[in-house]
């Protein structure tokens, strides 16, 4: 069972699971996702979608052996416009999905985030780092919801004898991110392709480490198969500044869009890079796709969608 199935990561995860021969139930309330993301599974007898908000309890008929919880707004733009829904997804959503996993004696995997490290004071970030989070800032609705979700997940494992894993996903990109979801890669791609200025926040010296979607999905599934409690970082340690990222995407698109500097959002983390020793050693997982190749795949998919929309209208 995949909660958040119609979202960016969830839809790729469902496709990969079905390819591997699993029967998958996707659950989503379409808050930030859409059914089109699951179009490739429309005809599959192995997949079915249930429209449901996981902040309400959920029952499913039959056996379930794995519950993957990805149901939460994830883009800063989304969680700032949906603060209470984000807090509820991390708190009530996680509780209800853990209860479902307990009732089914299923393994549970929480999609947590590098945001639990906040604006980190240690670099790179190891799983042992407890983070530097502003508990009342605008990002806290996401960061603290995920920190609570981690605590709940760890407690169910400790106190309720169910197998749980926590994956801390770092910035992931790839096909199917909404052009308007506000995250850096889709924003810069969309801006470069429509010949408008690329909006770099601050002076662009803040860093992120970007992981291609296929690698993130493989990492989540490796953690699910292993059953390691975690937390385990899933990310690509190839760190870039946001200005470099904007310039790279502009060049890749052969765009002449200028770069414009816009105010840095409050509490925007200055540096972010995962240490992935745990994932390497324990799960045998390392990212395979470098940034240039991943961006080229993303551009090709984005261009194909744009051409399809143009031919439909
Ligand atoms: P997304 O917004 O594309 O997908 C989230 C999905 O969850 C959407 O389809 C949305 O409709 C659904 N959803 C939200 N609240 C729900 C609810 N209450 N009930 C049912 N469905 C609900 O985001 P994404 O980038 O695919 O992220 C998926 C998960 O991975 C999130 O939990 C996010 O915190 C985590 N994550 C993502 C990244 C990243 O870089 N994409 C990084 C770290 C963690
Ligand atoms: N960013 C930017 N311009 C944009 C969107 C994002 O400069 O149009 C910056 C943002 O301020 C942050 C980085 O890019 O420093 C990554 O932002 P994103 O929203 O992709 O993910 P985050 O890591 O902040 O959750």
Q: Which atom of ligand 2 is nearest to the CA of 200?
A: 7
4 Cα nearest atom in ligand 1: 7
pLDDT (tens place) for every residue of the chain, 313 residues total: 999 999 999 999 999 999 999 999 999 999 999 999 999 999 999 999 999 999 999 999 999 999 999 999 999 999 999 999 999 999 999 999 999 999 999 999 999 999 999 999 999 999 999 999 999 999 999 999 999 999 999 999 999 889 999 999 999 999 999 999 999 999 999 999 999 999 999 999 999 999 999 999 999 999 999 977 779 999 999 999 999 999 999 999 999 999 999 999 999 999 999 999 999 999 999 999 999 999 999 999 999 888 888 888 7
**Catalytic residue, candidates 79, 117, 129, 142:** 142
Contact 114, 231 (CB under 8 A): no
Domain boundaries, the chain: 2-312
**Is position 117 annotated as part of the catalytic site?**
no
How many angstroms does the Cα of residue 184 sit away from the middle of ligand 2? 5
> Which CATH number describes the domain made up of 2-312?
3.40.50.720
Nearest ligand for residue 26 CA: 1
**Which residues lie below 8 Å from residue 200, measured CB to CB, with a gap of 6+?**
242, 243, 246, 259, 260, 261, 262
Report the pocket of ligand 2 as residue ranges, CB < 6 Å.
Answer: 75-76, 171, 182-184, 187, 199-201, 206, 208, 242, 265, 268
State if residue 302 touches ligand 1 by the CB under 6 angstroms criterion.
Answer: no
Ligand 1, closest atom to CA 33?
9
What lies within 8 Å, CB to CB, of 104 at 6+ separation is 60, 63, 64, 65, 67
């Amino acid at each position: 069972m995949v909660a958040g199935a119609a979202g960016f990561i969830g839809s790729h995860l469902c496709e990969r699971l079905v390819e591997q021969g699993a029967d998958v139930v996707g659950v989503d309330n379409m808050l930030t996702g859409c059914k089109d993301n699951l179009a490739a599974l429309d005809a599959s007898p192995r997949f079915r979608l249930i429209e449901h908000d996981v902040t309400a309890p959920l029952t499913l008929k039959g056996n379930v052996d794995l519950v993957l919880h990805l149901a939460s707004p994830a883009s800063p733009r989304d969680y700032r416009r949906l603060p209470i829904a984000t807090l509820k997804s991390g708190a009530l959503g996680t509780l209800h999905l853990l209860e479902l996993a307990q009732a089914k004696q299923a393994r549970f995997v929480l999609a947590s985030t590098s945001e639990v490290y906040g604006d980190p004071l240690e670099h790179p970030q190891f799983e042992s780092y407890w983070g530097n989070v502003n508990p009342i800032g605008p990002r806290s609705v996401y960061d603290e919801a995920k920190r609570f979700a981690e605590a709940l997940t760890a407690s169910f494992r400790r106190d309720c004898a169910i197998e749980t894993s926590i994956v801390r996903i770092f910035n992931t990109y790839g096909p199917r991110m909404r052009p308007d979801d506000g995250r850096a890669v889709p924003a810069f791609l969309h801006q470069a392709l429509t010949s408008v200025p690329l909006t770099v926040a601050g002076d662009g010296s803040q860093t992120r480490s970007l992981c291609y979607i296929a690698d993130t999905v493989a990492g989540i599934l490796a953690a699910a198969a292993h059953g390691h409690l975690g937390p385990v970082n899933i990310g690509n340690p190839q760190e870039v500044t946001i200005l470099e990222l904007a310039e790279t995407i502009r060049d890749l698109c052969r765009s002449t869009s200028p770069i414009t500097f816009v105010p840095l959002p409050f509490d925007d983390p200055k540096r972010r890079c995962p240490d992935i020793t745990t994932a390497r050693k324990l799960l045998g997982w390392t990212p395979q796709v470098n940034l240039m190749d991943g961006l080229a795949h993303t551009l090709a998919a984005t261009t194909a969608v744009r051409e399809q929309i143009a031919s439909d209208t």
